Each structure stands twice: as C-alpha cells, then as structure tokens.
Amino acid sequence: MATAQGASLDRKKLLADPIMVSTIVVLVVFLTLFIIYPLVILLVDSIIGPDGPTLDIIKGVLAKPAFRTAISNTLIIGAVTGVLSTLIGLLFAYVEEYVQLKTKFLAGLFKVVSILPVVSPPFVLSLSMILLFGRSGIISKTLLGIQDSNIYGMRSIIIIQTMTFFPVCYMMLRGLLKNIDPSLEEAARDMGASRWKVFTSVTWPLLLPGLGNAFLVTVMESVADFANPMMIGGNVDTLATSIYLQITGNYDKQGAAAMAVVLLSITFIMFFVQKYILEAKATATLTGKASRQRMLITDRSVRIPLVILCGAVAIFVIAMYICVPYGSVITTWGRDYTLTTKWYTKVFVNYRGGQAFTDSFLMALIASPLTALLSMIISYLVVKKKFALKGYIEFSSMLAMAVPGTVLGVGFIRGYANGLFRTGALQFIYGTTAILIIVFIVRSLPTGTRSGISALRQIDKSIEESAYDMGANSFEVFMTVTLPLIKDSFLSGLVTAFVRSITAISAVILVVTPATLLITVQINEYANRGEYAVACAFSTILILITYAAVLGMNIFIKYFGTSKAQEED
C-alpha cells in the first residue's frame, strides 16, 4: 500500500514539473522517429505489396539460393567467431586475474592487445591481413615464396573477426573472474584438487552464464559486421554485404528491406536471449565483490603455457597493427620498400583527404556530446523517475544495440527518402549531415545508457531529494547534483561516442552522399579499388585521431573526473 502511494506521489511530482515532462516528450519523439520508425517502415515494406499484406516479398528473398547461402555463411561465421573470441577473451582475462606475470612489460602488453581492437577503426585488421598474407604479402610472398596467395574468403573473415571481437569477451569475462570469491577455489585446492579440477568444477560453472552471454554478444557483433566481410570476404557473401549490394548493385530497395528484416529477426532473437536470460543469470551467479585478494598462480606448468598462448596472440595482433602505418610510408608493397610520403601527399592533394577528415571530425565532435548527454538523461529517467513511458524509453534506447548498421541504414533510406510514411514530412534531412549525426547518436546511445544506468544506481536518492527540498527544479538538480556525480560515466560515454562515430561505416555507407566525405567510406572505396597504400594512409591518420581522443579523454578523467577526488578522500 505504502509503495503504491509512494509511486503515485512520484508521478504527481513528475507531472507537476514542466521541464521533466517536456524532456520526456522530446525523448519519446526522438526515439520513436529515429529508432522505432525506421524499423517499422522496414517491416511494412517487407510485408505490404501492391495488393495489400503479403509474405511473398520475404518468401521471394528467401527463395534466392544466393541469399540462403548468405544466411548460412553468416551463421557459420558468427558461431565459429563467437567460440574462438570467447575462448581467447577468457584466456586473456584468466591470465590477467589469476596468473602472476614476471614482468610489467608482459602485463602491459597483454592489456594493450586486449583493448587495442576496441578503439581501432574498421578495416585495419583486414588491410593488415592483405598486406601480410595477400598476393604481395610479406609473409606469403617475401618469406614463403607463394606467388598467388588467395587470402580472401570465410577463413580470413573468421580470423579477422576473432581478433576484432575477442576484446569484448575479455572485458565481460574479466569482471566476472574478478568477482569470484577466491575462498571457493582455495577450499577445493585444500581438499587436494588440481588446478585443472578447480577450474572445471568451481570456476567454469560460475562462469558459464557469463560465457554464454559473451558468446552471444560476439555472435551478434559478427552477424552485424559489414566492414571486414566487405573487404576480405571475396566471393563469400554475408547478410550485411548482401543487403548493401542489393541496394547499390541491384537498386532493389524493397528487396533490401526484406533482407534487412531477416537479419534483424536473427539479431533480435539473440539480443533478447542475451539481455533478458543470460545477462540476468550471470548477474545472479556472481554478486558482490571478492572477500579478499586472490593468490596468483606461480606454478610454471600452468603459467608458462598460458603466457606463451597469450604471447602468440599478442605478437600476431601487434604485427597486424604495425603493418598499416608501415604500408602507408613505403613506395610499393611487395616490390619496393623505400620510405616515402607520397601516399600522404596524394591523400590530401589528390583525394580530398582534408575534407574527409574535417567532415568526419566535426560530425563526430557534434554527435559525441549530444550522445553522452542524451544517454545520461535517459539513464536518469530510467533509474530515478517513475512514469508510464519509462519502459518504452529504456527499451527504445537499448534497441539500437540489436540493430545491425546496414539494417539501420536501409531503414533510414526507406523511412526518409520520401519523408515520413511517404508524406514528404522530414524529407529535408535526407542526404544531409544531419541524418548522419542522428545515425551516429543512435548507434552509440545504448553504450552510454548502460554506463549511465550502472553509475546512477550507486547514488543514494536522498542526495537529490535534499536539493529538491532546497527549492531546486529538476533541471538544476540534474545539472548541479546528478551529472557531477556521474561525471566519469558522462566523459567515458563522450569519448566512446566520438570513437564509434568517427569510425562508423556500416550504418552511414548507405545514407552518405558525395557531398559529404567520411574517412571510413574513403578507406572502403580505395581498398576495394586495390589502392591499399592510400587506404593505409587514411587508416593511419584515423588511428592517430582516435587514439589521441582516447588518451586525451583518459588524462582529463584522471585529473578532473570524480574518481580522483574519491581516491584522495
């Protein structure tokens, strides 16, 4: 009874606050227009024919052998990538949390390698694979003497995606391993169990829901990936590349919409299983923090094999990341390795590189603070307020996580090329930088929202209530009390949004026009032409921009974030 009365009182307070009501209305309109509506229009396009509702459009798409092959390829690549990424992520997480490394260099190397692909632009590993193992590759041609090496195909996609996505598993599993109480494992050791027995009978069962969660997240990322299959897939089509080619090659927008619905159905199923089943089980299995510090493994029989495995992966990843900058400063890859700056000159003089970097940087710079602020506002409403549309706002903001970029791109084409529901309303944003910025915001919103929700749940409600009691309105409370307390989450969301925006490709490649040049689109164009040196030059500059942004933001958070103040206290 008291709970119901409290909820009723909270709703009355909310309705009496015009700023809060206006914010909720604006959010609902934004999320509906730019997340829900593009997906609805895709569904409408795929089931509404000239004579009314029909399944013939989807059946026609599914009847094409090439598309069925693309579905099969996508699922196989996703499953194998998911298994390999989860295993490698677990290996790195286990070594970091359980194994005593003899030198700080090894610890730093493994940490860098396990984070590097997360903040890297797309295409980097695919470009490196071509430079190392392609027809003119250093390893395939120069070292092994193979004259006609065919690096393109499913095997290369799986290797590249595994190296790209295993850090996601590492970050998820590291937190789970850190929260396992060491006393559980040490009790088994005291009873005579071997290290392997402890791992299989104690650690593994506790990790199992988290492993399933990490696997499914990786499969979702793999299924949605466009950049790597497009560059190194060769004749192997995936759902994401098939959708792109259906629009750009066959000019069949309705067929692409039907394909997008198929891909969306697959990712939706995975999203719901991951978020509402596996994530909940992982949280329930491991709660709280470890009771004391873990005694690290020093046994050579365990430590040396694990370090060798991690070292082999680390050397492979580092070698691939060195290739791209090196490929941008040599005369001709595979023939003349004389150092030169001509490719950078071509980028800025012949290929309008200056405009590409300016356009990409400015749009990312506009999108990132808007995304970070929007994420914090949504998080605040979801955690701290009670109102009828709270569930809709939370679901809509997180939904973009389950939507592949190519699907979102097709949705924006079908939804806004002729205006809302073909009425011409809002048609003016189509083909402009505004729609690209909106796509950037939508793609980065779930990450910032999850971070904000986690941070806000740690803040006592009484802190904000005291500000209300002193006469502050909701806007003042949010800006002067709540936002400063979650400053770290806001800043990390800002830099994440910037990196994701400036390196985006799958969603924007379908809605970008020749009037706007994006770095990632330029990299894709020149790599597909076979001008790998130019693509390497573009990629190198993009890597420098993203790493500089991450480094600068981390320094800012270290010295001006709330974490420093809390550490000093």
347-352-354-358 Cα dihedral, nearest 10 degrees:
-130
Which pLDDT belongs to residue 563? 46
Read off the pLDDT of each residue in 77-101 and give the average, rounded to a whole number: 91
Which pLDDT belongs to residue 405? 87
Evaluate whether the domain defined by 55-327 bears CATH number 1.10.260.40. Answer: no
Question: Is the predicted pLDDT of residue 225 greater than 80, yes or no?
Answer: yes
For the chain, the average pLDDT equals 83
Which pLDDT belongs to residue 566? 46
Read off the pLDDT of each residue in 484-491 and give the average, rounded to a whole number: 78
Question: Is the predicted pLDDT of residue 291 greater than 60, yes or no?
Answer: no
Handedness of CA 118, 123, 126, 131 (dihedral sign): negative
Q: Which structure tokens are listed for 206?
A: 């506790």
Handedness of CA 520, 525, 528, 533 (dihedral sign): negative
Read off the pLDDT of each residue in 47-73 and give the average, rounded to a whole number: 84
- The CATH architecture to which 13-48+347-569 belongs is Orthogonal Bundle (1.10)
What's the predicted TM-score (pTM) here? Answer: 0.85
Which pLDDT belongs to residue 91? 92
Q: Which structure tokens are listed for 281?
A: 């089980």
Contact 75, 69 (CB under 8 A): no
Q: Which residues contact 104 (CB under 8 A, 6 or more apart)?
A: none
Task: Report how far residue 58's alpha carbon sits from residue 415's, in angstroms, rounded to the nearest whole number.
Answer: 19
Of 322, 311, 335, nearest to 124 by C-alpha is 322
Handedness of CA 480, 483, 484, 490 (dihedral sign): negative
Q: What percent of the chain has pLDDT over 90?
A: 21
Question: Is the predicted pLDDT of residue 541 greater than 80, yes or no?
Answer: yes
Contact 509, 243 (CB under 8 A): no
At residue 344, what is the residue type?
Answer: Y
Read off the pLDDT of each residue in 286-308 and give the average, rounded to a whole number: 74
Domains in the chain: boundaries: 13-48+347-569, 55-327
Least confident of 57-61, 393-397, 474-478, 510-514: 474-478
Q: Identify the residue whose tokens are 């079908």.
A: 414
SS3 459: coil
Question: Is the predicted pLDDT of residue 112 greater than 90, yes or no?
Answer: no
The reply to whether 55-327 shares the fold of 13-48+347-569 is: yes
Local confidence band at 565 (pLDDT 50, 70, 90 cut-offs): very low
Read off the pLDDT of each residue in 282-287 and give the average, rounded to a whole number: 52
CA–CA–CA angle 271, 272, 275 (5° rounding): 80
SS3 257: helix
Which pLDDT belongs to residue 70? 92
Contact 70, 154 (CB under 8 A): no
For 165-201, how does the pLDDT look when each residue is reduced to its tens digit (9 = 90+)?
998 899 888 888 887 878 877 787 778 777 788 888 8
Highest average pLDDT, of 301-305, 325-329, 395-399, 446-450, comes from 325-329
Read off the pLDDT of each residue in 419-447 and give the average, rounded to a whole number: 89
Least confident of 20-29, 213-222, 245-254: 245-254
For 334-377, how does the pLDDT look when each residue is reduced to its tens digit (9 = 90+)?
788 889 999 999 898 888 888 889 999 999 999 999 999 899 88
Read off the pLDDT of each residue in 276-284 and give the average, rounded to a whole number: 63
Read off the pLDDT of each residue in 44-61 and give the average, rounded to a whole number: 79
